[in-house]
Amino acid sequence: MAWSKLKQHLESFLCPALYGRVEYLSTSYRYLPDKAGLCYIAVDKKNVLNMSDTLIRWYQTELEIKNDSDIQLPIDNEEIEAVRKDTKGNVPEERLKVIARNRKISEHAKELLSAQSSLSKSNFIVVANRFLSISIEESLESDDILLNILALVDRRVGKKRILNMTERMKLKHPIVQYFFELRLNTL
């Protein structure tokens, strides 16, 4: 599908409150075929997501994610019990929570790095086409950053669903959280 047609389809799914505020932009170089163009999403005329760098926190290493104090991961009793079982009960109770959190943040860091490494212009077009062909539930449940963003600004996602997603959004990439907050502020 041509970019202009794809852009038209994506913008037709924007929720009314974000229409005109969220834009999908693309550049390409006609006379430099070996140079790739860029795709980006702008909010209020500011480039927020530029497939390679953003105004939002962009992680370079797993250690950056682990040390980010903004990331709050809830630890449940099952995870603590798994650590207790792995250590055969030889670890003090207060250390079990620390170990369980470290395991969970390591897993979360790997997922975030994997998700953000796949962002490029060609990937944007592939993901946008996929978004148009799958259900909104699949897009919201996906680990793909772009699918999450496209779904969050979609008119088919209502107020009740947005409000019910608050806890789940804490585990998402900061750029997805940014678009969630943007949509939440339009309710």
**How does pLDDT run across 51-65, given as a tens digit for each residue?**
653 444 566 777 787
Check pLDDT > 70 for residue 2. yes
3: amino acid identity, one letter:
W
Can you give the residue ranges of every domain in the chain? 3-52+120-184, 62-115
Check pLDDT > 50 for residue 27. yes
65 CB-contact burial (10 Å; exposed 0-12 / middle 13-18 / buried 19+) = buried
Do residues 130 and 112 make contact, with C-beta atoms less than 8 angstroms apart?
A: no
pTM comes to 0.69
pLDDT of residue 30: 64
| Section 138-165 average pLDDT | 93
| Section 70-97 average pLDDT | 85
Q: Which of 114, 116, 112, 150 is nearest to 130 (CA)?
A: 150
When mean pLDDT is compared over 34-38, 52-56, 104-108, 178-182, the highest value belongs to 178-182
The confidence band for 21, taking pLDDT boundaries of 50, 70 and 90, is: very high
